[in-house]
Structure 1
Amino acid sequence: MDNPATNEALVHEIGSLIVHDEAYLEQPWNTLSLVATMRDENVVQLHGYVYLDAGKTAAETPRESKIAQRFVELHQVMRQRDGKPWKAALVQIWRETAKVSYFFEYDDAARWKVTPTNYEAMREELRPK
């Protein structure tokens, strides 16, 4: 379970599950960002945004529970490989080019956390560039 092929396979599967999720299929998004925050070893919380035409943004979380399960598996695989668990992951996807980027936060679980006081700033911080 600790080999690069498994890690790469999970990364590809997560990206595919996200873009094929009902929540995202229903939206005419150009780019999207999804944050996975580990709550404990087996629980992940997901939140994200879709970025539409004319600078519009909508908060959107995937409906498929398999996405959360795959993030837990990715967390376990990477922890075994690297020896240090990440606390949050950010996935950004560009629809037109099918580009997918992953970013991992190892120290601050709240780095990409959206709150009532920061939701406007975070919406823009999470926007794929």
Structure 2
Amino acid sequence: MSENMEMLERIARAITDDINVSRIDWTELSIVFSFEDDGFCSGHFGYAYDGDGRPTPFTLNSMDAEISASNYREWLRQDDDRGMIKMLFQFNRQSRKVQAAFEYDNSSRWQVTPANIDVITDELRPDLDAG
């Protein structure tokens, strides 16, 4: 298994082991991590989607996923690169598939507001089914 996949699986495990996520009935989830210039994860938010695609918002109780996400960011970062400012991490519980997308410039990407919540929750919904 590649080191890249091991690091993504470590993030997935930290998220799925979190008590706040374990209380939700979900099939897929998305979580957005935000990073400071020094690599510190300054926050996160997520949505867990049930089998019908209905989102439930969540935050993590433990910092384990934030630490794993920060470590992944630093592992990906080139020596002369400032690194990503946001990462969208997606996971499917049934297929065990993971996916990550990165933002390097636009700090408002994936930002949730009252005006766009329906659009963003739909945009963040993973499509990592078993098929």
TM category (shorter chain) comes to 0.7 to 0.9
Contact 1:21 1:64 in 2 (8 A): yes
Point out where structure 1 has 5 or more consecutive residues left out of the alignment: none
Any runs of at least 4 consecutive aligned residues in structure 1 with deviations exceeding 4 A, and if so which?
none
Structure 2 counterpart of 1:34, from 31, 35, 38 = 31
- Offset of residue 35 of structure 1: 0.4
Q: Distance in 1 between matches of 2:74 and 2:52?
A: 39
Match of 1:57 in 2: 55
Change (3 A) 1:40 1:29: same
Q: Distance in 1 between matches of 2:86 and 2:63?
A: 17
TM-score, with structure 2 as normaliser: 0.84
1:62-114: CA deviation from partner (whole Å, max 9, x where unpaired): 21112112222222222246734111101111111111111111221221111
Change (3 A) 1:128 1:36: same
Contact 1:38 1:109 in 2 (8 A): no
Please state if 1:105 is matched with 2:103.
yes
Match of 1:117 in 2: 115
Report % sequence identity.
29
TM-score, with structure 1 as normaliser: 0.85
Please state if 1:128 is matched with 2:126.
yes
Change (3 A) 1:82 1:13: farther
Contact 2:33 2:41 in 1 (8 A): no
Structure 1 counterpart of 2:12, from 1, 12, 15 = 15
- For the aligned residue pairs, the C-alpha RMSD in angstroms reads 1.9
Point out where structure 2 has 5 or more consecutive residues left out of the alignment: none
Change (3 A) 1:122 1:89: same
- Offset of residue 9 of structure 1: 3.5
Letter in structure 1 aligned against 2:89: V
Contact 1:39 1:45 in 2 (8 A): no
Letter in structure 1 aligned against 2:88: L
Match of 1:24 in 2: 21
Contact 1:87 1:106 in 2 (8 A): yes
Equivalent pairs, count:
125
Q: Distance in 1 between matches of 2:35 and 2:112?
A: 15
